[in-house]
């Protein structure tokens, strides 16, 4: 099953070898790459050696291709990118930018929302990030 994750700004693919690769900056301005598992709901994360992030810290995410900010403008501490599945269906993926928080939403083209992760309940109204 070939899944492609895209930057919403340049539509460059941001996944390779089962990882979603994001450029990241910690709150104390350390920079590096964050590798997220491409399976939604799998919260395995690998960070570059130059990026040391503590649980609960808020991380800024950028596209590794065009460097546009992936942080959402509405709502706190979320970032967004796109996912295209093997049928060509496109959905938005919204993740928490709080390190260690297990929270992901996907929103498909019919605005159907799926949620993943045990921290998701604190975002009661996900409408505002659409
Ligand atoms: Zn981009």
Which pLDDT score, from 0 to 100, does residue 111 have? 86
Which pLDDT score, from 0 to 100, does residue 93 have? 95
pLDDT, averaged per 10 consecutive residues of the chain (130 residues), comes to 93 97 96 95 93 94 98 85 95 94 88 82 56
Q: How far is the CA of 87 from the centre of ligand 1 (A)?
A: 23
Which pLDDT score, from 0 to 100, does residue 56 have? 93
Q: How far is the CA of 62 from the centre of ligand 1 (A)?
A: 8
Cα–Cα distance, 97 to 130 (Å, whole number): 17
Which pLDDT score, from 0 to 100, does residue 83 have? 96
0.95 exceeded by pTM? no
Q: How far is the CA of 6 from the centre of ligand 1 (A)?
A: 8
Q: How far is the CA of 11 from the centre of ligand 1 (A)?
A: 6
Calculate the alpha carbon distances from 68 to 12, 44, 61, 97 in Å: 11, 24, 9, 16
In the Cβ-directed half-sphere of 101, how many Cα atoms lie within 13 Å? Answer: 21
Which pLDDT score, from 0 to 100, does residue 38 have? 94
Q: How far is the CA of 102 from the centre of ligand 1 (A)?
A: 24
């Amino acid at each position: 099953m070939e899944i492609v994750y895209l930057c919403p700004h340049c539509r460059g693919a941001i996944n390779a070898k089962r990882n979603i690769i994001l450029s990241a900056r910690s709150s104390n301005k350390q920079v590096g790459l964050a590798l997220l598992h491409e399976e939604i709901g799998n919260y395995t994360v690998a960070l570059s050696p130059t990026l040391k992030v503590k649980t609960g810290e808020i991380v800024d995410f950028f596209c590794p291709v065009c460097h546009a900010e992936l942080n959402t403008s509405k709502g706190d501490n979320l970032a967004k990118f796109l996912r295209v599945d093997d049928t060509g269906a496109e959905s938005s993926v919204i993740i928490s930018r709080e390190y260690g928080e297990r929270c992901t939403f996907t929103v498909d083209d019919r605005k159907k929302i799926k949620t993943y992760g045990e921290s998701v309940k604190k975002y009661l109204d996900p409408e505002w990030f659409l």
